[in-house]
Chain A
Amino acid sequence: MADVGIVGYGSYIPRYRIKLESIAAVWGADAENYKRGLQLYEKSVPGHDQDTITMSVEAARRAIKRAGITGSQIGAAYVGSESHPYAVKPTGTVVAEALGATPECHTADFEFACKAGTEAMYVCYSQVKAGVIEYGLGVGADTSQGAPGDALEYSASAGAAAFIFGTKNILATVDHTYAYMTDTPDFWRREHQYYPQHGGRYTGDPAYFKHTLGAANGILEKSGMKPEDFDYAVFHQPNGKFPMEAAKRLGFPREKCMTGWLTPWLGNTYSGASPIGLTAILDVAKPGDRILMVSFGSGAGSDAFIYTVKEPILKVQGIAPKTRVQLDENKFYLDYGRYAKFRGKIIRNEG
């Protein structure tokens, strides 16, 4: 059977940022404590005119550019997010329409807390592997919400990553996949509620670590590979601390995780978190590099992927904006007032 892999990738990070200090100041909290505890310094904020749909479109356009295909060649468009702009009406149709993928295109919106992005990738990859479609688009994107004053408010951020899967001109083959899930009530948001609820410290060992490590160990066992076989690893990163702790417990040295470890400056992009981390790795990876990717979504579960980078990547890394450049350059810092306005936390009259 022909190799299946990533043939195009792209990320989108909004230009707005807020520093942890600006949030802590409003709630009378100790910023240093949060920075230490979360290993997080600032986070991205979507502009008033940005949402999961707009960021998905931009990330997908970059992925299409790197893939060197046209939108009409995309046979499936899957978007994973916990912040789909409509409760009822697909994100995927807007994205597919903007890319010119309609009407001969299958689309679905995925939702599984922070794992929805890799779910979209997982299904996309499987569709291509099954020969149902030639090219498929999987996107992870979120404009995450954290309740004002809650610990989540310090991390919930915005970003998107898009991947095109196919069989020709592969940038990185998908060598193995593995999924691991249980019913774990660590984090949820009920219908019609603005902000999620979470189980505090219960989100750690019984949730994040159990599933992230479960999936990682599962795929290592399935593939017969060990941490030393990898050049890079990227884990779901709800804060700066958890992914590095997971790496440590798995036996991955810190330096193999640094490239995809974006949360300290990006915040938690939820469905975009490990996917955006993967784009940062692909931006700098060399042919032959091996990458382990493990996502995590509350509720709870993890998807794991092993990729091997291929020669064609060298030609496309520079033709669309790199993730680290978007993260580090041209930033606009917001004060809490503008941040609250941008995030729709201030209720105005409608007219």
Chain B
Amino acid sequence: MKIRSPRYAREIPQRYRYEAAKTKSGKIFFPPRLVYPGGETATKHILAQTGKVLTWTIQSTGPAEYADMTPYAMAIVELDDGARITSMLVDVEHSTVKTGMRVRIEFRKIRSEGHEGLLCYGYKVVPE
């Protein structure tokens, strides 16, 4: 299903600038929410842009829009502020991917909506 402009534009602060929210008790929510557990309030927080791999896989296959990238590494990353993201891990020899490896966020093209549609950008991680 193609990503259309309204949906894409709505997430730009998170995809481009990593805008998250931090509650009074110190928990980070990415993306920010309208409602927080326990009725807490939260303020804007920018995610740390370095972290470590918690778990990972090498995907031999991917959704159609990602097929040109296969095989690719996918990881769950804990950023240095404790927030977690799921992200493609690129610019890496797959044989060197390890749990615990240090990574940093880079701005990348995530997908193209065919030859005519939007170019969709966002975050991926690369070895630090």
- In the bound complex, residues from chain A placing their C-beta under 8 Å from that of B90 are 47, 49
Q: Which of A54, A97, A341, A351 contacts B108 (CB 8 A)?
A: A54
Interface string of A272-297 (1 = CB under 8 A from B): 00000000000000000000000000
Interface-centre pick from A47, A49, A53, A332 (highest chain B CB count, 10 A): A49
Interface string of B107-121 (1 = CB under 8 A from A): 111100011000101
Least CB distance from A97 to B in Å reads 6
Q: How many A-B residue pairs have CB under 8 A?
A: 54
> With A49-B69, A351-B64 in contact, do A58 and B106 touch (Cβ < 8 Å)?
yes
Q: Which of B17, B64, B108, B115 contacts A49 (CB 8 A)?
A: B108
- In the bound complex, residues from chain B placing their C-beta under 8 Å from that of A58 are 106-107
Q: Which of A100, A330, A351 contacts B17 (CB 8 A)?
A: A100
* B17–A54 touching, CB < 8 Å: no
A189 to B12, CA, bound (A): 32
- In the bound complex, residues from chain A placing their C-beta under 8 Å from that of B106 are 54, 58
Q: How many residues of A contact B (CB 8 A)?
A: 23
* B91–A47 touching, CB < 8 Å: yes
* B68–A86 touching, CB < 8 Å: no
* B16–A86 touching, CB < 8 Å: no
Q: Which of A53, A341, A350 contacts B115 (CB 8 A)?
A: A350
In residues 27-74 of chain B, which contact A (Cβ within 8 Å)?
A: 64, 67-69
* B16–A98 touching, CB < 8 Å: yes
Q: How many residues of B contact A (CB 8 A)?
A: 21
In residues 97-116 of chain A, which contact B (Cβ within 8 Å)?
A: 97-98, 100
- Nearest neighbor of B15 in chain A, beta-carbon distance: A98
- In the bound complex, residues from chain A placing their C-beta under 8 Å from that of B88 are 49
Chain A contact residues: helix, strand, loop or mixed: loop
Q: Taking the complex as formed, is A48 at the interface, i.e. its CB lies under 8 A from any CB of chain B?
A: yes
- In the bound complex, residues from chain A placing their C-beta under 8 Å from that of B69 are 48-49
- In the bound complex, residues from chain B placing their C-beta under 8 Å from that of A50 are 108-109
A97 to B15, CA, bound (A): 10
* A94–B91 touching, CB < 8 Å: no
- In the bound complex, residues from chain B placing their C-beta under 8 Å from that of A15 are 91
Least CB distance from A87 to B in Å reads 11
Q: Could you list which residues of chain B lie within 8 angstroms of chain A, going by C-beta atoms?
A: 12, 16-17, 64, 67-69, 88, 90-91, 93, 106-110, 114-115, 119, 121, 124
Nearest first, the 8 A-B pairs at minimum CB distance are A98-B16, A57-B107, A49-B108, A49-B109, A15-B91, A54-B107, A351-B64, A48-B68
* Known pairs A54-B121, A85-B109, A86-B119 / 5 extra A-B pairs, C-beta < 8 Å: A48-B69, A51-B119, A53-B121, A98-B16, A348-B67
